Structure 1
Amino acid sequence: MAFRFFMLLICISFFSCKKEKNLVSTNIDKLVLIPIPDQIVEEDYGFLFDQETRVMSDTLPEVQAIATQFKSLLKQTPFPLILDNEVDENVVSFNIVSSDSIPSPEGYVLAINNKRLSLAGSTPTGVFRGMQTLLQVLPDALIAGKQIDSLVIPGLKIIDEPQYEYRGMMLDVARHFFTVDEVKRLIDQMALYKLNKLHLHLTDDQGWRIEIKSWPKLTEIGGSSSVRGERPGFYTQEDYKSIVAYAQSKFITVIPEIDMPGHTNAALASYPELNCNGKATKLYRGMRVGFSTLCVDKDITYAFVEDVIKEIAAMTPGTYIHLGGDESHVTSKKDYNIFLNKVFSIVKKYKKQVIGWEEIESAGVDSTYIVQHWQRTTTASRGLAQGAKVILSPAKRMYLDMKYTKKSPVGLTWAGTVEVDSAYIWKPSQIFKDVPPSQVLGIESPLWSETIKSSDDIEYLAFPRLIGHAELGWSKRKNYNWDSYKLRLNKHYNRMNILGINYYKSPVLKTKIKP
């Protein structure tokens, strides 16, 4: 009796309950949804959990895993949530539906009313993306693992799909090395905001971070250095496969980058035969760029590249291999183009698609290539004119290694400072106005690691700017709104506190929020 009276008081004071179970009035005003969904409709009544609430799941293992995750979130509640595919009401369901009803493979429909909580997608990916929205609908206390005795989910219907196919983040593990667990922690955080690509910058002048069995000195020697010698290391092939598999479990694709022909000092120090003079370079622990190049005239260079691409491709189920191609200042343009054309053929031989920084356009690209814009729109535009697609990573908006202000404890300033508002208040569609939208594949937030050496550093520079970029990548252009986003992000701080994210507390968000 006491418990029933307590529940009644809750319904009256907060949800204006008309019936104990089926008529709990809804209230979505307190919801904090980032990225903002395409369509949100408020339902008259929300969903009240009780001892009879059941869970229903599609038979696909990936969807069952999502249902199991949801059940585990409620372990500190009195609701048993037994799996039962025979009930029609008082059920939480995770469903696969036809692509006719949800055309986008990442789209989903989340429908919550007094009878059921339903999450549907036409693929497991769509259901997983919808689960991230459902997590934001759930109360903070549940996410924090606190004991709760009652649970009401606001009634709503969300119909949602992404604006861009490609929504990513790049982590530079070459300047400073980050462990498998640190990368997996970042993958967990990326998944929360519906990002779907993790670009790993695996090699550079300061370090070679991926084991190549046919060229073992790459990690034996090249993996022993880093910026200032602070965090050397490398991934074994089993380590890399573990990262790839973990990302796949979060519906994130890993894109490996093997930078060439420049940014290659770690390789040149490991194998002297890759140098034109046949002499090994010294390991490099500084931050300068543009001084190294593979020897374009030697056959062994292409044997080396093929071995590397072959082993990387075999471990990478995703479509893409990133070839870098930027800042190769000591390679003549003629040699640069000769080299890349040979390497392009090698990548295609192993059934992968080339991504490169915008400079690769000079070697000749077509609709099967992707150029990544980071600095000069004129350079990327030449690639687009040849038919290539583009990933947007303009440094002045999207480089996470740029300081927020000149007083930021870590980061660089060569592209300026990027406060939280500057990271959000721009329109990706306006950078290349005259190209068809189909050529803009999406956006990516690069984090170069010259100044960072811990997960705390990663999180400080990435959050909350990465969250704003995630909204620009996922949400429709009509829903971009700084005033709305600022309020939602301010409220979202509490969720980041619960998750233990070491985010930057921006003064531009110090807006008084009504309780």
Structure 2
Amino acid sequence: MRTHPGTTRTSRLLGSLLLVAAAGVSSFAAAPAPSGRAEPPLTPLGRIVPAPMRVEAGGEGYEITARTRIRAATPEERRAGEYLAKVLRPSTGYRLPLTDRAGGDGIRLRISAEPRNKALGAEGYRVLSTRGSLTITSWTGAGLFHGVQTVRQQLPAAVEKRTGQRGPWRIAGGTITDMPRYGYRSTMLDVARHFFTVDQVKRYIDQAALYKMNKLHLHLSDDQGWRIAVDSWPRLATYGGSTQVGGGAGGHYTKAQYKEIVAYAAARHMKVVPEIDMPGHTNAALASYAELNCDGVAPPLYTGTAVGFSSLCVKKDVTYDFVDDVIRELAAMTPGEYLHIGGDEAHSTSHEDFTAFMARVQPLVAEYGKTVLGWHQLTGAKPAEGAVAQYWGYDRTGAAERERVVNAAKNGTRLVLSPADRSYLDMKYTKDTPLGLDWAGFVEVRRSYDWDPATYLPGVPADAVMGVEAPLWTETLSTSAHLEHMAFPRLPGIAELGWSPAATHDWEAYRTRLAAQAPRWDALGIGYHRSPQVPWPAR
């Protein structure tokens, strides 16, 4: 068991509460199944991913029927109610009308500023399942939404199908009280190496939202492609975005399409964190505009997978006109507080130039109302006040590099942790995995899950860790099926590290809960890696 500040009480109660949960489930008074048909098994209260903070099982629990109404009065409550209804209606076949009338029955969605709800923070929630009603309470719309994801997982997996299914649709009795360990829980999708359409990005957003992720980091530019329209530099998208790894057609998002992605994520209480990687990883930009090169000569477009060979010309004033324009236009389209400026693998930029570049670019981010987020190489320069460094090192990362990150954290730079040999979803599971890379090693499900963000980097103050991220790089991935095979089952584990109390961290318990997700993924059409480390149910 691991603990961290604020979880001592949870730690003491956890074992007994889980036993109570199991005992409470066994007392559920199930109605007899129709002749010749077995009921779907009832999911024990709290046997979900991420593991909830506190579970108090008991009582008969709630059954969704043709008479069920969803009671939601305020706009935020109705938004959560409409989302839940869209999930439930196709499979159950029930109307599930929304009503703003108060009542003691049905599914009740409540935003309440009572002290006990505010104590759960901006994303916490409470689910109460009784014979007469199912109530989700939170202080915020985000909390209600996360509570809805919990309710989804408590229902039979067939609820996720888009065609009519047989019930019953029961939820075990008792109370779940939950809140996140970290406020920053992210996944990253690289759309630069291979381009993914708006609909493909939306599909990935939905998959991450099911596990309570609240950030989508979009890697929008790299050597192989520039994926966002910039009015002041139009060839970035039309020419720089015209290809991808392997020489395919590539693509880019118009501003309207980018805003569509941002809005779709926001409706699922996820904020988009856009990344323009610089000063390296910039061949697509250099190919688009010759003046960004020190010699004034544009290189050809690049469709390979090497890194570290490109660099903006740090000493040219036009470089900062370019950066200013890009940041200004991107910031105007992005409601979230963070803008990622990359900074990794700038091998063709001298240390002096790298430091000078970051000193000029970080204030531009602040000028347009955003907070700097950069890969941990930012700590090799001077991080701006309030800046966040994203650590992507791994076991073989040198001591000097780690020390720079630790010292920066001690001096106030906050960290997001995405160690490559733990949370990079594009790493092969084993040597036989047909997709992915292996430069950080093989990353099976247990290795991806079995680490603690609070202690991963010795010497980093616990309060410097903002959260975790699961990056998905796409040098070898070009379809949604590819994304899903590499993300599942590892993405839920990183989500749990970001959400669940440290006291719940237990591989043996987790692998059982993870295995129970498989029928849900089957129902959702998510292809996944059936790791031998997980006791998957028979198909």
TM-score by length of 1: 0.92
- On the 8 A contact 2:341/2:372 being kept in 1, the answer is yes
Q: Secondary structure at the match of 2:176?
A: strand
Q: Map 1:203-282; keep pairs closer than 5 Å.
A: 203-282=221-300
Return the alpha-carbon distance in structure 1 between the equivalents of residues 30 and 315 of structure 2: 77
- On the 8 A contact 1:163/1:474 being kept in 2, the answer is yes
Q: Map 1:312-351; keep pairs closer than 5 Å.
A: 312-351=330-369
Q: Map 1:57-76; keep pairs closer than 5 Å.
A: 57-60=72-75, 62-72=76-86, 73-74=88-89
- Kindly state the Cα deviation for residue 435 of structure 1 after the two structures are TM-superposed: 3.1
Q: Where does structure 1 lack aligned partners over 5 or more consecutive residues? A: 1-11, 19-25
- Kindly state the Cα deviation for residue 51 of structure 1 after the two structures are TM-superposed: 5.4
Q: Could you tell me which of 67, 85, 91 is aligned with 2:106?
A: 91
Matched AA of 1:39: R
- Kindly state the Cα deviation for residue 431 of structure 1 after the two structures are TM-superposed: 1.5
Structure 1 residues 40-71: Cα deviation after superposition (integer angstroms, max 9, x where no partner): 111222123455543211312x3202212333
Q: Which has the higher contact order (CA 8 A, sep 6+)?
A: 2
Distance 1:158 1:411, change over 3 A: same
Q: Map 1:26-425; keep pairs closer than 5 Å.
A: 29=44, 32-50=47-65, 52-60=67-75, 62-72=76-86, 73-74=88-89, 77=92, 80-98=95-113, 100-102=115-117, 103=119, 104-144=121-161, 145-148=163-166, 150-375=168-393, 376=397, 377-425=402-450
Return the alpha-carbon distance in structure 2 between the equivalents of residues 71 and 216 of structure 1: 42
Return the alpha-carbon distance in structure 1 between the equivalents of residues 328 and 138 of structure 2: 35
- Kindly state the Cα deviation for residue 512 of structure 1 after the two structures are TM-superposed: 7.6
Q: Is residue 2:513 matched to residue 1:495?
A: no
Return the alpha-carbon distance in structure 1 between the equivalents of residues 93 and 239 of structure 2: 56
Percent of aligned pairs with the same residue? 45
- Kindly state the Cα deviation for residue 298 of structure 1 after the two structures are TM-superposed: 0.8
Distance 1:450 1:126, change over 3 A: same
- On the 8 A contact 2:82/2:98 being kept in 1, the answer is no
Q: Secondary structure at the match of 1:41?
A: strand
- Kindly state the Cα deviation for residue 181 of structure 1 after the two structures are TM-superposed: 0.7
Structure 1 residues 254-308: Cα deviation after superposition (integer angstroms, max 9, x where no partner): 0010011111111111101011111111111111111111111111110000000
Q: Secondary structure at the match of 2:390?
A: strand
Return the alpha-carbon distance in structure 2 between the equivalents of residues 315 and 511 of structure 1: 43
Q: Where does structure 2 lack aligned partners over 5 or more consecutive residues? A: 1-25, 33-40
Distance 1:112 1:346, change over 3 A: same
- On the 8 A contact 1:129/1:194 being kept in 2, the answer is yes
Q: Secondary structure at the match of 1:429?
A: coil
Q: Secondary structure at the match of 1:111?
A: strand
Return the alpha-carbon distance in structure 2 between the equivalents of residues 374 and 403 of structure 1: 16
- On the 8 A contact 1:397/1:423 being kept in 2, the answer is yes
Matched AA of 1:69: Y
Q: Is residue 2:486 matched to residue 1:461?
A: yes
For 2:19, the equivalent position in structure 1 comes to none
Q: Report the more deviating stretch, 379-388 or 179-188.
A: 379-388
- Kindly state the Cα deviation for residue 330 of structure 1 after the two structures are TM-superposed: 1.4
Structure 1 residues 87-135: Cα deviation after superposition (integer angstroms, max 9, x where no partner): 4322210000116222310000000112321001100000001100000
- Kindly state the Cα deviation for residue 27 of structure 1 after the two structures are TM-superposed: 6.4
Distance 1:90 1:466, change over 3 A: same
